[in-house]
Amino acid sequence: MTGRVLMAAAMLFLLAFLASPESFASLFKPFTRNNAPAIYTQTGLMSLTLSHLGLVLLAVIASTLIAVTLAILVTRPSGREFLPLARTVTSVGQTFPPVAVLALAVPVMGFGAGPTLVALFLYGLLPVFENALAGLTGQSPQVQEAARGMGLTPRQRLWQVELPLALPVILTGVRLTAVISLGTATIGSTVAAKTLGELIIAGLLSSNTAFVLQGGMVVGILAVLIYEGFQRLEQLAAARIGQG
Amino acid sequence: MAFRISRTGLLFALIGLAGLALPFVQFKPNRIVPGEGLRLFDALSLPLGWMIGLVLGAVLIAGCLERWPARLRLTVALLSVIAVTLALGAAATQLTPPDNTLARVSPSSGFWLLLLAFALMLADAQSRITLGLPIRLAMLIGAMVLIAVILGSGVLDGVSVMREYAARSDLFAREAAGHLVLAFGSLGLALLIGLPLGVAIYESPAMRRPVLGILNILQTIPSLALFGIMIPIFGWIAANIPGAAQAGVAGIGLFPALVALFLYSLLPVVSNTLTGLIGVNPATREAAAGLGMTRPQILVQVLIPLALPVLLAAIRIVLVQNIGLAVIAGLIGGGGFGTFVFQGLNQTAMDLVLLGALPTIALALVAGIALDLLVEATGGAPKGGQA
């Protein structure tokens, strides 16, 4: 209960801050020096936040769709051949630093939102894929057997048995991806994507701690809210299959 | 005799043949302007380019057939990776006019796709044979020696990334050392503080929620912001607390980056310490107590050795994560390979970006694989597939 109240309070604070950052200026004034502005006005905070979230949302949706599709394909009898390879690629791929992926996407995509989106998408594939694979392969053979015995076709088994059973684990993967993407997107500002990182970098360049704090705070609160939201979804999905 | 088509092989062939069709290298009159793409067949002098290209193509097509023993495929894929790398070096040497220090030959999409195709083939073959730990360790060391020999032999010296390296080899050694200090130093600090903290919250369960909660929130602060916040905090401490500056505390350079990485490392270390300790069978603990061991003795001689695989798994997570995150230190003047990455991005000199990104990736891969082997050797489950 206290958790819910805290989350609601954090969300209200965030919305109030984004709607009218100027009214919080006195809060951030102590962190500035030489009468520097306490609130970033170059680009609206709201528009930076929305573009940040949009980028993350787009990348997460794309990587979830592709990763779950791939996981379904390699767990079908016709795709089993790819399973060992898929596991190796996933574990190796996750050791690639996200910043390096971002930097390497620049020569291909040029500067702007493009490379950030590609890096977030590629990096986001792995946690979802790994979890979807675990969810789809870790099901008890008895359940499969029962589904077959009921006369369900392979397609029905996938949609009515396997996917619902794997859903909580898949959602955990999506949560990991979303939180990682939210943080990595800030670095996207170094390649000229419009994200909250712009605020942090502006703060670093002008030694204005207030900007750095604001950027970190907004992304941090967003991450906590998304994390909690997904956990709630996971609980719901687990309750639906009788594991709540 | 009917041959079955291997569908994995078909995928690698498609990627590899696309690599042969696309530009293998970019030839640029200087390091910043966009260049002219040359395919493998055109990038090397007449008989050589076609020979290598046709051999690689033949390997890719032959790889589609089912009838290959995995060990043979492993060897062929490894040889092909080496061949592609050497072809890049040869192309760079042949294309660069003598006495021209401005022209750059950089690897292009064709090279990367060929490398990807054969690396996938290698990974696929490797995942189909079960090899013992010592052999996999030997393979890891062998791969590192091979890379060192190729880099040391000078065959790649004409390639743009190596030209960038040659222009700043002293700086590279310094940034490499800085990167290692950041990644391993923060890990050491995290173990120093995180292990006792993990033990403490194991002993007093009431503290678990608040401690893990705080560490969780710390983890959600974007790395860029955490690095940025450290600068004024330590700047203030160094300026206002007597003795702090003498002790090495500073608001610029390595120190704030080190502390930021340390803070990120705490959660995996503390939570895995707790998980590892909780996972020890209560009967084992009681048996130890029954033997008359004191609490500290039980902890050091029984609990920690049994929790070791989980602790090593935490070290793996932290090390791989910190090697990657240390790149961001380059943005706040903290040194490390990130210096090259962000310098390169600023100058739009992509070869310089590669000079920072490639060693970072290599370092993360080696650390991840080595620790996976170690976790397995101590009896834990490896994080991912086989290394």
Please name each of the domains of chain A with its CATH number: 47-240 (1.10.3720.10)
Which residue of B109, B120, B342 is in closest CB contact with A85?
B120
Which residue, among B220, B236, B267, B328, would best test binding to A if mutated, counting the most A CBs under 10 Å from its CB? Answer: B220
Q: Are B120 and B219 contained in the same domain?
A: no
**Helix orientation angle between A163-187 and A197-205, rounded to the nearest 10 degrees:** 30
3-state secondary structure of A41: coil
Size of interface A-B (CB pairs under 8 A): 156
Distance from CA of B276 to the nearest CA of A (A): 22
- Neighbouring-strand partners of residue B159: B105
Q: Are B187 and B78 contained in the same domain?
A: no
- From chain B residues 217-236, the ones with a CB under 8 A of any chain A CB are 217, 220-226, 228-229, 231-232
Partner A contacted by B126 (CB < 8 A): yes
Nearest alpha-carbon partner for B80 in B54, B47, B108, B46: B54
- Contact criterion met (CB < 8 Å) for A87 and B231: no
The domain boundary residue, chosen from B129, B157, B185: B157
Residue A186 and residue A197 in contact, taking contact as beta carbons nearer than 8 Å: yes
Distance CA B370, CA B138 (A): 11
Distance CA B240, CA A206 (A): 22
Query: Closest-CA residue in chain A for B225?
Result: A216
Distance CA A100, CA A119 (A): 9
Residue B331 lies in a domain: yes
Angle at B279 between CA B277 and CA B280, to 5 degrees: 75
| Residue B97, Ramachandran bin (φ over 0: left; ψ between -120 and 50: alpha; else beta) | beta
The domain boundary residue, chosen from B157, B182, B209: B157
Interval B336-363: pLDDT, tens: 999 999 998 888 888 898 999 999 999 9
- Contact criterion met (CB < 8 Å) for A100 and B357: yes
Partner A contacted by B129 (CB < 8 A): no
Distance from CA of B246 to the nearest CA of A (A): 23
- Contact criterion met (CB < 8 Å) for A100 and B324: yes
Instruction: Tell me which chain A residues have a C-beta less than 8 angstroms from the C-beta of B341.
Output: 99-100, 103
Q: Are B197 and B112 contained in the same domain?
A: no
Residue holding tokens 């220090």? B101
Residue A104 and residue B353 in contact, taking contact as beta carbons nearer than 8 Å: yes
CATH code assigned at B211 = 1.10.3720.10
Distance CA B176, CA B338 (A): 10
Which residue of B224, B228, B361 is in closest CB contact with A97?
B361
Distance from CA of B204 to the nearest CA of A (A): 22
Q: Are B323 and B178 contained in the same domain?
A: yes
Three-state SS sequence of chain B: CCCCECHHHHHHHHHHHHHHHCCCEEEECCCCCCCEEECHHHHCCHHHHHHHHHHHHHHHHHCCECCCCHHHHHHHHHHHHHHHHHHHHHHHHHHCCCCCCCCEEEECHHHHHHHHHHHHHHHHHHHHCCCCHHHHHHHHHHHHHHHHHHHHHCCCCCEHHHHHHHHCHHHHHHHHHHHHHHHHHHHHHHHHHHHHHHHHHHHCHHHHHHHHHHHHHHHHCCHHHHHHHHHHHHHHHHHHCCCCCCCCCCCCCHHHHHHHHHHHHHHHHHHHHHHHHHCCCHHHHHHHHHCCCCHHHHHHHHHHHHHHHHHHHHHHHHHHHHHHHHHHHHHHCCCCCHHHHHHHHHCCCHHHHHHHHHHHHHHHHHHHHHHHHHHHHCCCCCCCCCC
Which residue of B224, B338, B364 is in closest CB contact with A200?
B224
| Per-residue tokens: B199 | 């033990």
Query: Closest-CA residue in chain A for B358?
Result: A100
Distance CA B27, CA B24 (A): 10
| DSSP annotation of A81 | G
Overall size of chain A counted in residues = 244
| DSSP annotation of A200 | H
Query: Closest-CA residue in chain B for A74?
Result: B8
Distance CA B161, CA A176 (A): 34
Instruction: Tell me which chain A residues have a C-beta less than 8 angstroms from the C-beta of B109.
Output: 108
- From chain B residues 239-278, the ones with a CB under 8 A of any chain A CB are none
Q: Are B66 and B102 contained in the same domain?
A: yes
Q: Are B124 and B194 contained in the same domain?
A: no
387 residues of chain B, pLDDT tens digit each: 456 788 888 899 999 999 999 988 888 887 777 778 888 888 887 788 888 888 999 889 888 887 778 888 889 999 999 999 999 998 888 888 777 777 888 888 899 999 999 999 998 888 888 888 888 899 999 999 999 999 998 888 888 889 889 889 999 999 999 999 999 999 999 999 999 999 999 989 999 999 998 898 888 788 888 888 888 888 888 888 888 777 777 777 788 899 999 999 999 999 999 998 988 888 888 898 899 888 888 888 888 888 888 899 899 989 999 999 999 898 888 889 999 999 988 888 888 989 999 999 999 999 999 998 998 888 766 544 333
Q: Are B290 and B269 contained in the same domain?
A: yes
Count of CB atoms within 10 A of residue B263's CB?
18
Could you tell me which residues come within 8 angstroms of residue A140 by beta carbon, excluding any fewer than 6 positions away?
none
Distance CA A92, CA A87 (A): 9
Distance CA B301, CA B289 (A): 12
Distance CA B193, CA B211 (A): 13
Residue A219 and residue B225 in contact, taking contact as beta carbons nearer than 8 Å: yes
Nearest alpha-carbon partner for A57 in A193, A234, A182, A190: A182
**Residue B197 exposure: Cα atoms within 13 Å on the Cβ side:** 21
Distance from CA of A149 to the nearest CA of B (A): 31
| Residue B253, Ramachandran bin (φ over 0: left; ψ between -120 and 50: alpha; else beta) | left
Looking at residue B26, what is its pLDDT?
A: 85
Nearest alpha-carbon partner for B111 in B148, B156, B63, B62: B156
Q: Are B144 and B281 contained in the same domain?
A: no
Instruction: Tell me which chain A residues have a C-beta less than 8 angstroms from the C-beta of B328.
Output: 99, 187
Residue B278 lies in a domain: yes
Residue B110 lies in a domain: yes
Distance from CA of B220 to the nearest CA of A (A): 5
- Neighbouring-strand partners of residue B107: B25
- From chain B residues 173-202, the ones with a CB under 8 A of any chain A CB are none
Distance CA A8, CA B75 (A): 58
Q: Are B113 and B191 contained in the same domain?
A: no
Looking at residue B386, what is its pLDDT?
A: 35
The domain boundary residue, chosen from B127, B157, B187: B157
Residue B270 and residue B212 in contact, taking contact as beta carbons nearer than 8 Å: yes
Residue B372 lies in a domain: yes
Q: Are B117 and B206 contained in the same domain?
A: no
The total number of structural domains in chain B stands at: 2
Partner A contacted by B128 (CB < 8 A): yes
- Contact criterion met (CB < 8 Å) for B225 and A200: yes
Distance CA B135, CA B292 (A): 42
Nearest alpha-carbon partner for A109 in B110, B350, B35: B350
Residue B92 lies in a domain: yes
Looking at residue B382, what is its pLDDT?
A: 52
Looking at residue B384, what is its pLDDT?
A: 42
Q: Are B143 and B181 contained in the same domain?
A: no
Instruction: Tell me which chain A residues have a C-beta less than 8 angstroms from the C-beta of B383.
Output: 91
Query: What is the enclosing helix (H) or strand (E) of A175?
Result: helix A163-187
Residue B202 lies in a domain: yes
Residue B18 lies in a domain: yes
Distance CA A123, CA B99 (A): 42
Residue-number span of the structural domain to which B301 is assigned: 169-377
244 residues of chain A, pLDDT tens digit each: 677 888 899 999 999 988 888 888 887 877 777 777 778 877 788 899 999 999 999 999 999 999 999 999 998 888 888 888 888 888 888 888 888 888 888 877 778 888 899 889 988 888 899 899 999 988 888 888 888 888 888 888 888 889 999 999 999 999 989 988 998 899 888 888 899 989 888 888 888 888 888 888 899 899 889 988 998 999 998 888 876 5
Looking at residue B77, what is its pLDDT?
A: 92
Residue B385 lies in a domain: no
Q: Are B182 and B325 contained in the same domain?
A: yes
Residue B81 and residue B115 in contact, taking contact as beta carbons nearer than 8 Å: yes
Distance CA B78, CA B142 (A): 12
Distance CA B336, CA B227 (A): 14
Instruction: Tell me which chain A residues have a C-beta less than 8 angstroms from the C-beta of B320.
Output: 94-95
